[in-house]
Amino acid sequence: MHIILVGPQGSGKGTQAELLVTKHRIPHVATGDILRAAIKDETALGRQAKVYMDRGELVPDEVVIGIVRERVALPDCRKGFVFDGFPRTIPQAEAFGQVLGQLGIHLDAVVLLEVPRATLLERMAGRRVCRNCGATYHVSLNPPRQDGVCDLCGGELYQRADDNPEAIRNRLEAYDRATRPLIDYYRQRGLLVEVDGIGALEEVADRMERAVQARERKTS
Ligand code: ADP
Ligand code: ZN
C-alpha cells in the first residue's frame, strides 16, 4: 500500500500515519520528522532548514525533494509507505511522480484529511511530540498515560518550536497558498480520497481504510 496523506497542519496526518504503518508494517515517511532529526543532529541540512521551520515557512523544494529521493529509494519503501507532509507543493508532486515512476512504484491513493479551521488551531495549540520517537499527543484530546512521557518509548514530550501562534499562522497560510492546489492535482489523476478527519482516532482510521478500499474497487 503506497499512500500519501495531505491535509492542513493539525488535521491528524501524523497520528493517522502512525496507525496505518503499525497495522500494515510499512514505513512512515514524514519530511517534517526527517528535518527535525537533522536539526537535532546539527547537520548542514538541519542548519539550513531550521530558519524556515521556526518561522513556519516551507523549506525550499530542492532540499526536500533531495531528502525524499534518497529515502524512497531504500528497499523498505518497495512494499508500501505512508507519506505525510510531502509533497506539499506542485513542483514537489511532479518531482515525486518522476521518482516513483523510475522506481516502478504506483500510488494507491492520496488521502485528504478534512478538518475545520477552529479544530486545527485547538489541536496545534495542545500538541505535544515525543523527542525520541516523534509520536504525537494532545494535552486534552489524546493525552499520554503519564504527563510529559511517551506511551510508546518513554521519551520526553515537548511542544514544537513552530506550534506558536505566529508560526501556526504562517504554516496555515503556506498550506492555503502552496499545498491546497495539490488537491486538484491529485483529483485530476483519479487518486484523491476525501476523508472527514473529525472523530475518535480509530473512527477516522476506519473511515480512511474504507475510503482507500472503495477507491481500489472502483479503479480495478
Ligand atoms: P506541519 O505540517 O504540522 O507544519 P511538519 O512536521 O509536517 O508539520 O512540517 C514542519 C515544517 O517542516 C514545515 O513548516 C516546513 O518548514 C518543513 N517541511 C516539512 N515538509 C516539507 C515539505 N514537503 N516542503 C517544504 N517544507 C517542509
Ligand atoms: Zn516516543
CATH code for residues 2-26+79-115+179-219: 3.40.50.300
Can you tell me which residue has the cell 533531495? Answer: 66
Q: How far is the CA of 71 from the centre of ligand 1 (A)?
A: 16
Distance (Å, whole) CA 12 – CA 27: 17
Continuous segment of H or E residues that includes residue 204: helix 201-219
The predicted pLDDT at position 142 comes to 87
State the Cα angle at 63 between 72 and 115, rounded to 5°: 75
Catalytic residues: 13, 88, 127, 160, 171
The predicted pLDDT at position 127 comes to 92
By most ligand atoms within 8 Å of CB, the mutation choice from 50, 51, 53 for ligand 1 is 53
The predicted pLDDT at position 134 comes to 84
Euclidean distance between the first and final Cα of the chain, in Å? 14
List residues near ligand 1 (CB under 6 A).
Answer: 9, 31-32, 35, 52-53, 56-59, 64, 85-86, 88, 92, 162, 171
Query: Which letter does DSSP use for residue 175 in this model?
Result: I
Distance (Å, whole) CA 143 – CA 216: 35
Q: Which residues surround ligand 2, an ion (CB under 5 A)?
A: 130, 132-133, 135, 150, 152-153, 155
The predicted pLDDT at position 107 comes to 96
The partner residues of 6 in beta bridges, in order of sequence, read 112
pLDDT tens-digit profile of 130-171?
A: 999 888 899 998 899 999 999 999 999 999 889 999 999 999
Mean pLDDT calculated for residue range 169-176: 94
How many C-alpha atoms does 43 have within 13 Å on its Cβ side?
9
Residues 67 and 29 sit within 8 Å (Cβ to Cβ): no
Mean pLDDT calculated for residue range 49-64: 94
Scanning 57-137, the segments in alpha helix (DSSP H) are 61-72, 90-103, 117-125
Q: How far is the CA of 129 from the centre of ligand 2 (A)?
A: 8
For CA atoms 77, 82, 88, 94, the dihedral sign is positive
Quick check: 220 pLDDT over 80? no
SS3 content of the chain, % helix, strand, coil (to 5): 50, 15, 30
Helix and strand totals (H; E) in the chain: 9, 8
Q: Does the reported pTM lie above 0.75?
A: yes
What rounded mean pLDDT belongs to the chain?
93
* Residue 215 pLDDT class (50, 70, 90 cuts): confident
